[in-house]
Amino acid sequence: MIWTNWAGLVVAGAALAGCGGGGSSTQPTTPPAPSIVVQGGIARMIAKDTSIHIEVTAQAANFTPTGTLYASAGDGASLVQGPVTVTSNGGGSYTFALDTLPTKPGGRYTGNLTIKLCSDQACTTAQAIPSITVPFDVTVQTSDSAWPGDKLTALSAVSGVADWATFQGNNAHTGYVPMEVKPDQISLRWKRGALNNSNVGYNAVISTLVTSNGRFFASGNNKLTAYQESDGSAAWSYDTSGLTYPSVNPPAVDNGVVYMAAGQQSSTYMMAFDAATGSVRMKSAMSSQWEHYLPPIVQNGAVYTNAGSYGGLYAFALSGERLFTGALSQTAMWSPAGDARAIYAYTGDALTMFEPKTGSVLASIKDTTFSNYVYQVGGAAVIGANGGVYAAAYTNGYLNGGGIGNALTRFDTLKGFLDWRVPGVYRVTPAYSDGVLYAPNFNPYRVEARAETDGKLLWSWTPPLSGEVTFQASPVVTKNLLFVSTNLNTYAIDLKTHQPVWSYPAPGYLAISQNGILYIQSPDALVAVNLK
């Protein structure tokens, strides 16, 4: 997509009258003409057969609508559809909201959107300012469309945003990135081949990437590789094929060091690599069978990971010294969570809290409804506010089509009990922000926004296409947008309107780096998207 930084547009109801020279000081002054200023233009990417929501905000001066302000819209490309909703924001500011048509064929569309301002709903009577004009540059992209070209802008960190350091971005696994994303500033950065050959879903290796200091790190095909965020080129690679039973798991990164559990059976290790050079910093033995694990977490000078011949939690000092091994029920494919109070291990049958340095069990909250059918969790616990920790038996959601023993659950870690449970088919870890859980549910098929206090459904969004039947991975949430990936498309959902404002025809695991780059990691390719 090509994005243009449109200048502000002014539409005036009449030209300003000039004053003659040398006139009397008592000569009447011509009042300023009414005007409306529209800041910016429309620049969007839309996946074919989907519709997005567009809002245009305009500031009026010396303009009072006659009666109720109504509007209609049109463009030369037949890109938008009615109706147009008008909202007064006060102080002469108005927002005009409308949607695009989902039937446009692939291609790039440019031109001007004309919004007529009317005093009647049928839009037959014009206001004093009859219309405003907004330029648009919209690309409808199909899965078969040619790549429109790289947009390699200079990298710069977003203030207040940390790098994507582990599974779902941080040790609380919230998938939250504290940045405001303007949909008209989103552009495609680069595209490269897939990072690994892993699939998705039950019994698959979830090989998510992490980012740090202008690089991203990913595992696959028995290798850990560092890539440049700027253009996706490889910087260094470490091959584990020399291990007796070579294997790699997705990494975590902290303070210039990349951590990864590697190997299986008698050749299982927690390894650490210099993020700049790829040199090995630590290699400490662990036990395992043939399991795979989600990324470790690094906290207060220690690294924690799922491992063990019969399940468990391993903790290492950054020097490689083993701090403790915590016994747990035999499950794999999970990542520990951590905060100042504890390290949390969700194994389906229980949420267990460990003291971070000694490994002593602080508490264990049982879930007696869980049945360990497949010995995998397939996700992680999410730490919310007020002692709330949230999880589901994610992998059980793949069994028998509709899931077995699967529910979104809140554990109250302050009082030590299972607080509430919402039945459903929750196969991926939810995102969390500001008291709301964003949980993809497979039955009913929708993304749910639920209150953390009681699990109440606040709102939901259902993917629009009949071919969308699954969610590819966990969602990611910013201050104003929720990024969701189905098996066909990735969407940006506005948290206020609950409607998509951007879409792209590729599924994948999602991550957002400190430099404001969204990664869509599909089995076929990796797409980097500029969010600013």
- CATH (domain of 118): 2.60.40.10
For residue 89, CA distances in Å to 93, 95, 450 come to 5, 7, 28
User: What is the pLDDT at residue 189?
Assistant: 98
Which of the two residues, 267 and 31, has the higher pLDDT score?
267
Range of the domain at 378: 167-530
pLDDT at 1 over 60: no
Please tell me whether residues 209 and 132 are part of one structural domain: no
**For 62-71, 246-255, 393-402, which range has the lowest pLDDT when averaged over its residues?**
393-402
Q: Is residue 1 part of a domain?
A: no
pLDDT averaged over every residue in the chain: 92
Task: Tell me the pLDDT band of 11, cut-offs 50, 70 and 90.
Answer: very low
pLDDT at 14 over 90: no
Average pLDDT over residues 401-405: 67
Please tell me whether residues 213 and 299 are part of one structural domain: yes
Please tell me whether residues 136 and 54 are part of one structural domain: yes
Nearest of 406, 454, 459, 458 to residue 428 by alpha carbon: 406
Rounded CA separation 485/510 (Å) = 8
Q: Is residue 15 part of a domain?
A: no
Domain boundary among 141, 158, 191: 141
Please tell me whether residues 130 and 215 are part of one structural domain: no
Please tell me whether residues 320 and 178 are part of one structural domain: yes
Please tell me whether residues 114 and 258 are part of one structural domain: no
Q: Is residue 310 part of a domain?
A: yes
User: What is the pLDDT at residue 31?
Assistant: 75
Please tell me whether residues 195 and 63 are part of one structural domain: no
User: What is the pLDDT at residue 40?
Assistant: 86
Q: Is residue 17 part of a domain?
A: no
Please tell me whether residues 127 and 186 are part of one structural domain: no
- Cβ(291)–Cβ(264) below 8 Å: yes
Please tell me whether residues 385 and 266 are part of one structural domain: yes
Q: Is residue 36 part of a domain?
A: yes
Task: Tell me the pLDDT band of 329, cut-offs 50, 70 and 90.
Answer: very high
pLDDT at 44 over 70: yes
Please tell me whether residues 359 and 471 are part of one structural domain: yes
User: What is the pLDDT at residue 83?
Assistant: 94
Domain boundary among 123, 141, 159: 141
Q: How many domains does the chain have?
A: 2
Average pLDDT over residues 145-150: 93
* CATH for 227: 2.130.10.10
Which of the two residues, 270 and 34, has the higher pLDDT score?
270
Nearest of 150, 126, 148, 125 to residue 137 by alpha carbon: 148
Name the token pair of 357.
Answer: 């340095």
Please tell me whether residues 294 and 404 are part of one structural domain: yes
Task: Tell me the pLDDT band of 13, cut-offs 50, 70 and 90.
Answer: very low
Q: Is residue 26 part of a domain?
A: no
Number of alpha carbons in the 13 Å side-chain half-sphere of residue 326 = 30
pTM score of the predicted model = 0.93
Nearest of 130, 154, 185 to residue 4 by alpha carbon: 185
By DSSP bridging, strand 376-380 and strand 332-335 are: parallel
